[in-house]
Amino acid sequence: ISQAFLRATRTTFKESRNKDYIKYGDDNKYPDYLTYLFNKSAKHSAIVSGKAFYIFGEGYENGEVVVNRLGDTLNDVSKRAILDIEIYGGFRWEIIWNAARKVQEIYHVDYTTIRVGKNGGYYFKECWDINDREEEVFMPAFNPNSPVGSQLYAYNEYRPKTKYYPLPEYIGSNNFIETDIEISKYYLSAIRN
**pTM: predicted TM-score of the whole model, two decimal places:** 0.89
- What does the pLDDT look like over 30-39, one tens digit per residue? 999 999 999 9
- Return d(Cα 42, Cα 189) in angstroms, integer: 17
Residue 175's contacts (CB-CB under 8 Å, 6 or more residues apart) are: none
pLDDT at position 107 is 98
pLDDT at position 182 is 94
- Return d(Cα 107, Cα 84) in angstroms, integer: 14
pLDDT at position 176 is 95
Average pLDDT value over all residues in the chain: 91
**Residue 16 — very low, low, confident or very high, per pLDDT cuts 50/70/90?**
low
Between the alpha carbon of residue 87 and those of residues 44, 83, 90, 119, the distances in Å are 10, 6, 8, 27
pLDDT at 47 over 80: yes
